[in-house]
């Protein structure tokens, strides 16, 4: 018995949109998706960095942000010890490993699939037990502390702002407390945030402190990265 022809559920693709070429793909609004989720999904599908990340096997497009920072500041090389705060799903750690880093430890609230040789902790970085555990797993003081931590926003401006600032300050305090002399600290921050105070503290402890907006950071986002190099020691 011959089967009836199957009905197509979707139209076949009519042209690529990778690399930002062609007409942007649009999705039918699924009943289950909120408009915000729908917008995120469409943006992700039409995003050249997300497409490139998929093609190169990176777990996140964030890998390109740290690759641009590394290109400019040369922070990764074999032999450096690295801590990655807020590593999930793991793009930054993947990139560091590719650049020859073997001593690397990361922490996130979320579970992360193994990324050998990285050590991965699932816990809250602000838990007082976290910092000693990270250093123990790393086997010594780090040369590089990275933080791409971002809290889940609750939609209340002041609360969100306080939570973001809390994470930046905790990461900076940790870096100043553990880095080797000459070390590097990279942290996600936000334009318009009250980062003046933390930048002032970093300037006392590092030879140079810059604000960097990588091309891979969405231009409509207020995200910037603080890059502090040349840790002066304690
Ligand atoms: N750099 C990552 C990459 O390359 O894949 C992306 C990091 S993502 C933008 C921010 C992460 O920070 C989230 O996975 C979130 O769970 C984590 N995070 C937020 N607050 C945290 C906390 N208190 N402790 C640990 N991780 C935290």
* pLDDT, average across residues 50-58: 92
Query: In this predicted model, what pLDDT tens digit does every residue of 71-92 receive, in sequence order?
Result: 999 999 999 999 999 999 999 9
Which residue out of 11, 23, 65, 188 is catalytically annotated?
188
Residue 109 CB-half CA count within 13 A: 9
Q: Given a cut of 60, is residue 21 above it in pLDDT? A: no
Question: Dihedral through CA 125, CA 130, CA 133, CA 137, nearest 10?
Answer: 0
Which of the two residues, 121 and 234, has the higher pLDDT score? 121
Tell me the percentage of the chain whose pLDDT exceeds 90. Answer: 66
Question: What atom in ligand 1 is closest to the CA of residue 130?
Answer: 24
- SS3 state of residue 28: coil
- Higher per-residue confidence, 53 vs 153: 53
Residue 66 alpha carbon to ligand 1 centre in Å: 14
**pTM of this structure:** 0.85
- What is the model's pLDDT at position 125? 98
Beta bridge pairs of residue 107: 85, 121
> What is the model's pLDDT at position 215?
95
Euclidean distance between CA atoms 190 and 198, whole angstroms: 12
* List of domains in the chain: 60-231 (3.40.50.150)
- Inform me whether the pLDDT recorded for 1 exceeds 50: no
How far apart are the CA of 88 and the centre of ligand 1, in A? 6
Atom of ligand 1 nearest to the CA of 125: 24
């Amino acid at each position: 018995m011959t089967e009836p022809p199957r009905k197509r559920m979707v139209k076949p693709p009519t042209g690529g949109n990778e690399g930002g070429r062609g007409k942007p793909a649009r999705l039918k609004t699924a009943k289950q998706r909120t408009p915000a989720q729908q917008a995120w999904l469409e943006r992700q599908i039409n995003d050249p960095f997300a497409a490139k990340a998929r093609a190169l096997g990176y777990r996140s497009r964030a890998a390109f942000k740290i690759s641009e920072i590394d290109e400019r500041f040369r922070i990764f090389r074999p032999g450096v010890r690295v801590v990655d705060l807020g590593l999930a799903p793991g793009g930054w750690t993947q990139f560091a490993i590719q650049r020859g880093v073997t001593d690397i430890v990361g922490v996130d609230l979320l579970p992360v699939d193994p990324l050998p040789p990285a050590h991965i902790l699932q816990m809250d970085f602000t838990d007082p037990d976290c910092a000693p555990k990270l250093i123990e797993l790393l086997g010594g003081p780090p040369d590089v502390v990275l933080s791409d931590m971002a809290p889940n926003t609750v939609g209340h401006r002041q609360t969100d702002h306080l939570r973001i600032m809390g994470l930046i300050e905790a990461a900076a305090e940790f870096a100043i407390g553990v880095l080797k002399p000459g070390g590097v600290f990279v942290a996600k921050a936000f334009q318009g945030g009250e980062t003046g105070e933390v930048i002032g503290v970093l300037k006392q402890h590092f030879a140079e402190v810059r604000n960097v907006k990588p091309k891979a950071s969405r231009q409509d986002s207020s995200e910037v990265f603080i890059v502090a190099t040349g840790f002066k020691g304690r």
